[in-house]
Amino acid sequence: MQKNTYKQMATLMAPYLKKGIAYRQKQVRRLLAIYDDIFAHEPYLNDEITRVGRKQIIGYWERTKGESSAVRKEKYKVLCLFYNKANLRGKVPKPK
């Protein structure tokens, strides 16, 4: 992930991290890992947050089928939160 993209995501999630709760820090690390994985597997996105959509999220869920349902549920929650904070269009597809 490029430095600029990381800064954009950190800026959007700063109010969420403000309290310093360890769980929230873990969730933001997960969010960064999700986007890092998506950008690594889909180079045509050019590290633009707004270009990540339903197809890329579904691809991520397919690549991480081996994770437990609890982890996938937590990742889904942080993705939903990020979509709301970033005012991105559409809904986050749920993992199966």
Return the domain boundaries, the chain. 3-86
Q: Give the integer Cα–Cα distance in Å for 9 and 26.
A: 14
> Which pLDDT belongs to residue 20?
82
> Which pLDDT belongs to residue 58?
95
Q: What are the pLDDT digits (tens) for 1-53?
A: 889 999 999 999 999 998 888 999 999 999 999 999 999 999 999 989 999 99
> Which pLDDT belongs to residue 2?
87
Q: Which residue has the higher pLDDT, 70 or 91?
A: 70
Q: What are the pLDDT digits (tens) for 55-88?
A: 999 999 999 999 999 999 999 999 999 999 999 8
Q: How many CB atoms lie within 10 A of CB 65?
A: 9
What length is written for the chain? 96
* Cβ proximity of 85 and 12 under 8 Å: yes
